[in-house]
Amino acid sequence: MNEINLLKQNIESQTIQAALASWKSKFEKRMKKSGESSMVQAACSIASQSLESLRSNEKHGYLWVAQKDDEICAVLIGDDKGTNLIIRFLVADVLNPKAKGTGTFLANKMLEFAIENQRTVCTIAENADKFWKNKMGFKPNPKNSIEYIYEPGESSSSSVENVKEKERGKKKKRH
């Protein structure tokens, strides 16, 4: 099937924790084996932080999971921050070829939700600034150098559509 899906039914926090712990272990083994890959190192750090957050029983407004072929491939943890949405953590199983594009998929779903509800999205770019920089309409926050902000406006729906169009173009090239 090879299609990415947003897991809509309830999912136990323990199931997500198990997936994150498994990814973290794979990432750590890979880093020991082949030295430091910045992408794997960043993913390992984000997986660790996500696990800590879930294990500490913090309450989060959004816990979204991308699934491909019945396998968890990416996790987004987000919250409401006043009238804004904040993406706390976004991590994908970067060592699994099936997971390619699942982080972007979840970010797009959050943007679609923000556009529908006329809400701003911000994210902390620690360990992931390459992902957010100039991606999907996110811009650096001039007030906080580690945050990136997406503000719905006239071009909002077109920026999500542009990303979707690029993804469709990539899929066509693969076939």
Which string of DSSP letters, residue by residue, matches 5-16? EE--S---HHHH
**Topology of 4-174 in CATH?**
Aminopeptidase (3.40.630)
What is the rounded CA–CA span in Å between residue 23 and residue 17? 10
What is the rounded CA–CA span in Å between residue 69 and residue 55? 27
List the domain boundaries for the chain. 4-174
Backbone angles phi, psi at 158, to 5 degrees: -70, -30
Instruction: Report CA 144 to chain centroid distance, whole Å.
Output: 20
Torsion sign (Cα): 133, 157, 78, 89: negative
Of 144, 104, 106, 101, the closest CA to residue 122 belongs to 144
pLDDT tens-digit profile, the chain (175 residues): 578 888 766 677 788 999 999 999 999 999 888 776 788 888 899 999 999 988 887 778 888 999 998 899 999 998 988 888 999 899 999 999 999 999 999 999 999 999 999 999 998 766 567 777 767 788 888 888 888 899 887 454 555 555 555 545 555 554 4
Q: What's residue 154's pLDDT?
A: 46
